[in-house]
């Protein structure tokens, strides 16, 4: 087989809320929309359940980008204010990423409702293109090299 | 007469506070000397590295190590002590998670050296002398002529468990005498929990033993974050409810809430609780939870977060090197290592 120069394929971890975004990803599938296969979707009950530790863990374990996605504020959240908590947490979390030298574009918090399959496809496309530009993330590489 | 169990005490990148906590045992120290035979303790006794090397492997009952690993010397010494010891204990926040010196992991060595030797306002260094690998010391009056060699620094600071296997952790900055005493009791009675556990302290968070816990409202929500530099906390009222960034909910208890008793918020020196993987991540999670604004009030949220100038120093004050992101990404190899230490 001819040797191919492989292009960098970013790994993206997605924490998708069960009620909105996960339904949107499902809808994208049943509507036969196509989007890059770089995302690994993890279904959670609510974006407010996504502890910033999980995002840190994903970055430390080799994710090049992370998306946390939930229901639109103000009133879509199944648990009333889970998305409020997520919003405030990740607003602060971005400060941490900046201080740790990780590009802000590697993390996205998105509101995607169950009907917005096209929005989901658009977010994934944008993220993949962005990460291809940024290249792989090596957060804990050995500095001695 | 049966031989007393041997104890070694070594310091790595340490401020000396942990050694103080040992002295703070006060009259209980007599009991320590009665029970243990101290074979190595650079802070107080004149045993050398050779003395440790001469001991048979596994002959030291307990090695207590405080301070993080900043230099090659520290790395070599803790590896040697691991070989010679039955039990190795990370003593204090620095050796367990990196501690305050661990915040240096946000910078590379050149930035640290320049800041320390040239930039800070309290330094006077007109000749701009920087650390060198070798220094010749010549004092003719005392007939001293020697060449001193500085151990090679490591690119980042590491907690000791990233270099050697650690059996137990004693938390605190420094550990309180009672916590140390509890841990010693556990060692003496052999009543030890599984390897890798924190000993001497509580298994629950600080709020659990805090006297102000009763004044904590059912639903904790604040409109702004306050700093003790700018506002004075009202006594006898939960500091969190007043908006002060108290790390109590995410920090291990066991210190009897000493700082809170002095009307100061907890800074988190007893470290993470079991089941938490990243102290700062957990802290962000809860600071985000208690701020009482909706996403439509974007400006207020930004303002509240911007009122705290140093988030990393707040949420990772004692634990940056053991965090999931343990140092700033993309730190360049330093000139100091390349040119001065030729590595």
Asked if residue A84 is part of any domain, the answer here is: yes
Per the structure, the complete domain to which residue A92 belongs is given by 12-134
Taking the C-alpha atoms of residue A60 and residue A58, their distance in angstroms, rounded to an integer, is: 5
Nearest residue on chain B to A60, alpha-carbon basis:
B324
Asked if residue A143 is part of any domain, the answer here is: no
Asked if residue A6 is part of any domain, the answer here is: no
Considering its fold, how many domains does chain A have in total?
1
Nearest residue on chain B to A87, alpha-carbon basis:
B295
B43 — pLDDT class (breaks 50, 70, 90): confident
Asked if residue A139 is part of any domain, the answer here is: no
pLDDT tens column, B138-148: 999 988 899 99
Q: Taking 50 as the threshold, does the pLDDT of residue B35 lie above it?
A: yes
Asked if residue A62 is part of any domain, the answer here is: yes
Task: List the domain boundaries for chain B.
Answer: 6-101+155-198, 112-154+334-340, 206-269+272-317
Taking the C-alpha atoms of residue B297 and residue B320, their distance in angstroms, rounded to an integer, is: 31
Helical packing angle, A117-134 and A21-30, nearest 10°: 100
Segment-wise mean pLDDT, segments of 10 residues, chain A, 145 residues? 70 96 96 96 96 94 95 92 94 93 94 96 97 87 50
Taking the C-alpha atoms of residue B324 and residue B198, their distance in angstroms, rounded to an integer, is: 19
* Domain CATH for A30: 3.40.50.960
* Amino acid A34: pLDDT: 95
Q: Is B328 on the interface with A (CB under 8 A)?
A: yes
Asked if residue A44 is part of any domain, the answer here is: yes
Taking the C-alpha atoms of residue A55 and residue A47, their distance in angstroms, rounded to an integer, is: 12
* Amino acid B202: pLDDT: 92
> From the CA of A86, how many Å to the nearest CA of chain B?
8
* Predicted TM-score (pTM) of this structure: 0.90
Asked if residue A39 is part of any domain, the answer here is: yes
Q: Do A85 and B289 touch (CB under 8 A)?
A: yes
- One CATH from 3.50.50.60, 3.30.420.40, 3.40.50.700, 3.30.70.100 for B6-101+155-198: 3.40.50.700
- The beta-carbon neighbor of A99 closest among B106, B305, B324 is B106
Q: Do A88 and B289 touch (CB under 8 A)?
A: yes
| Residue scoring higher pLDDT (A140 or B273) | B273
Q: What is the mean pLDDT of residues B252-265?
A: 94
pLDDT tens column, B73-128: 999 999 999 999 999 999 999 999 999 999 999 998 889 999 999 999 999 999 98
Q: Do A52 and B284 touch (CB under 8 A)?
A: yes
* Amino acid B1: pLDDT: 45
- The beta-carbon neighbor of B294 closest among A74, A91, A99 is A74
Q: Do A92 and B284 touch (CB under 8 A)?
A: yes
- Smallest CA-to-CA distance from B55 within B7, B2, B1 is with B7
Q: Is B54 on the interface with A (CB under 8 A)?
A: no
Q: Taking 70 as the threshold, does the pLDDT of residue B215 lie above it?
A: yes
**Phi then psi for B99, rounded to 5 degrees?**
65, -170
**Phi then psi for A92, rounded to 5 degrees?**
-70, -40
Asked if residue A18 is part of any domain, the answer here is: yes
**Phi then psi for B328, rounded to 5 degrees?**
-65, 135
Q: For chain B, give the percent of residues with pLDDT over 70.
A: 99
């Amino acid at each position: 087989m001819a040797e191919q120069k492989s292009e960098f394929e970013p790994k993206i971890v997605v924490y998708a809320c069960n009620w909105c975004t996960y339904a949107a990803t499902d809808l994208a599938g049943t509507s036969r929309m196509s989007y890059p296969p770089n995302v690994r979707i993890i279904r959670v009950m609510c974006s407010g359940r996504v502890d910033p530790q999980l995002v840190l863990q994903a970055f430390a374990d080799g994710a090049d980008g992370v998306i946390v996605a939930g229901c639109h504020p103000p009133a879509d959240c199944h648990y009333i204010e889970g998305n409020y908590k997520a919003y405030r947490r990740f607003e602060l979390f971005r400060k941490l990423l900046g201080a740790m030298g990780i590009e802000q574009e590697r993390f996205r918090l998105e509101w995607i409702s169950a009907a917005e399959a096209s929005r989901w496809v658009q977010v994934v496309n944008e993220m993949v293109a962005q990460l291809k530009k940024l290249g792989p993330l090596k957060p804990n590489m050995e500095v001695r090299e | 007469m049966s031989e007393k169990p041997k104890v070694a005490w070594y310091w790595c990148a340490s401020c000396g506070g942990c050694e103080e906590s040992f002295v703070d045992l006060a009259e209980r120290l007599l009991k320590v000397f009665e029970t243990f035979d101290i074979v190595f303790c650079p802070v107080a006794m004149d045993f050398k590295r050779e003395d440790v090397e001469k001991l048979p492997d596994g002959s030291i009952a307990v090695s207590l190590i405080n301070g993080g690993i900043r230099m090659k010397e520290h790395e070599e010494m803790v590896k040697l002590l691991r070989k010679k010891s039955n039990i190795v204990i990370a003593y204090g926040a620095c050796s367990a998670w990196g501690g305050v010196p661990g915040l240096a992991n946000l910078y590379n060595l050149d930035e640290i050296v320049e800041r320390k030797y040239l930039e800070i306002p309290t330094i006077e260094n007109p000749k701009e002398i920087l650390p060198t690998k070798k220094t010749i010391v010549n004092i003719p009056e005392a007939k001293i002529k020697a060449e001193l060699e500085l151990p090679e620094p490591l690119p980042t600071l590491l907690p000791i468990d990233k270099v050697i296997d650690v059996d137990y952790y004693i938390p605190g900055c420094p550990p309180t005498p009672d916590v140390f005493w509890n841990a010693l009791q556990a060692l003496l009675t052999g009543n030890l929990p599984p390897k890798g556990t924190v000993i001497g302290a509580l298994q629950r968070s600080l709020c659990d033993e805090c006297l102000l816990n009763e004044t904590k409202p059912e639903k904790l929500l604040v409109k702004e974050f306050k700093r003790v530099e700018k506002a004075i906390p009202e006594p006898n009222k939960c500091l969190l409810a007043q908006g002060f960034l108290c790390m109590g909910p995410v920090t291990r208890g066991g210190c009897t809430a000493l700082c809170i008793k002095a009307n100061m918020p907890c800074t988190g020196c007893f470290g993470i609780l079991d089941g938490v993987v990243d102290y700062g991540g957990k802290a962000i999670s809860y600071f985000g939870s208690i701020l009482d604004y909706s996403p439509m009030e974007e400006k207020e949220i930004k303002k509240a977060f911007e009122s705290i100038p140093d988030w990393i120093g707040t949420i990772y004050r004692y634990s940056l090197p053991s965090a999931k992101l343990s140092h700033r990404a993309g730190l360049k190899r330093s000139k100091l290592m390349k040119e001065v230490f030729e590595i």
